[in-house]
Amino acid sequence: VGTRGPGETQLEVDRRRLRERLTRLKARLGQVERTRTIQRRRRLEVPFPTVALVGYTNSGKSTLMNALTDAGVEVANRPFSTLDPTIRRLKLPSGMNVMLVDTVGFIHRLPHMLIDAFKATLEEVRTATMLLHVVDASSPLAADRMTIVDEVLQEIGAGASPRIVVMNKADLAEHGANRNGAHDAISISALKGEGLGNLLDVIERHLGGSREEVSVTFPALRGDLVAMARRDGEVLSEEYRDGLVSMRARVSAPVAGRLRKAADAAS
């Protein structure tokens, strides 16, 4: 097995081995994709908005992830140190919970074969509620790299996703954070913890606009739904009568959907 057959040249042997290896790798990628799909479907059942960190490689996404959530993600000055998406819960100042996702760093002219390999992490970008575009503000190539990231986002179908530009490493920039035309950018230093409070406030303001008010009635035994509404948003009123609870709340769209579904089932 694996040796040269009758009339087979060494070049043909090498090509055959490469084809066999490619077949095995594609099978492994298919299994990883199926596993990730199942995990993503389960996570979508948790009604929290998802915020994905995107940016050029080595812009400081993993450092920011660790600073905000104590995730313990590997921080390395090399491309693709984050291959598998890391997901952690992040509590905003008002108590609102979001899922923060660290993704692979983009590069110039990302090869299509790598897009296939990184499909798991790129899928997290496509399905995110909002993106944090992390930029190395100290790099003289910051503007060009921002353009590259925008192009990759367009290529993977996330070009229209809401996003906040985060100018990281502002402490290393010669004249403060170089915003490169991004007037609404947030300047931070993830390594030193500077500007993180302001960043959380901006995230909350952006996500707060996506909340909606619901008025629902369901069995009082469903205390889990009441607790979920309190964690996710603001309960405006709550009244218990005849084994039912009538509640009015301002919550995110996923939570509003679950509350309405429970109310419809009880009616």
List the chain pLDDT tens, one digit each, 267 residues: 455 555 567 788 788 888 888 787 667 666 656 665 655 555 555 567 889 998 888 888 889 999 998 766 555 554 444 445 678 888 888 777 888 888 766 655 555 555 555 655 677 788 888 999 999 999 898 998 899 888 888 877 888 888 999 999 988 876 544 555 455 689 999 999 999 999 999 998 888 766 788 999 999 898 888 888 887 778 889 999 988 999 999 887 778 888 888 888 887
Is residue 33 domain-shared with residue 63, that is, in the same domain?
A: no
Is residue 72 domain-shared with residue 200, that is, in the same domain?
A: yes
Is residue 60 domain-shared with residue 190, that is, in the same domain?
A: yes
What pLDDT score was predicted for residue 120?
Answer: 57
Is residue 55 domain-shared with residue 182, that is, in the same domain?
A: yes
> With contact defined as beta carbons under 8 Å apart, do 250 and 211 qualify?
yes
Parallel, antiparallel or unpaired: strands 50-55 and 97-102: parallel
Place of tokens 């990883």: 32
Among 139, 118, 136, smallest CA distance to 64 is for: 136
Is residue 127 domain-shared with residue 187, that is, in the same domain?
A: yes
Compute the C-alpha angle 54/59/205, nearest 5°. Answer: 50
Is residue 27 domain-shared with residue 156, that is, in the same domain?
A: no
Contacts of 68 (CB under 8 A, 6+ apart): 90, 100, 196, 200
For helices 223-232 and 253-266, the axis angle rounded to 10 degrees is 160
- Point out which residues pair with 123 in neighbouring strands: none
Is residue 103 domain-shared with residue 230, that is, in the same domain?
A: no
Is residue 68 domain-shared with residue 173, that is, in the same domain?
A: yes
Is residue 70 domain-shared with residue 169, that is, in the same domain?
A: yes
CATH number of the domain where residue 54 is located: 3.40.50.300
- Supply the range of the domain harboring residue 23: 1-45
Is residue 14 domain-shared with residue 144, that is, in the same domain?
A: no
Q: What is the CA radius of gyration of the chain?
A: 23
What pLDDT score was predicted for residue 84?
Answer: 55
What pLDDT score was predicted for residue 235?
Answer: 87
pTM: 0.66
Is residue 104 domain-shared with residue 142, that is, in the same domain?
A: yes
Is residue 34 domain-shared with residue 147, that is, in the same domain?
A: no
CATH number of the domain where residue 239 is located: 3.30.70.240
Considering its fold, how many domains does the chain have in total?
3
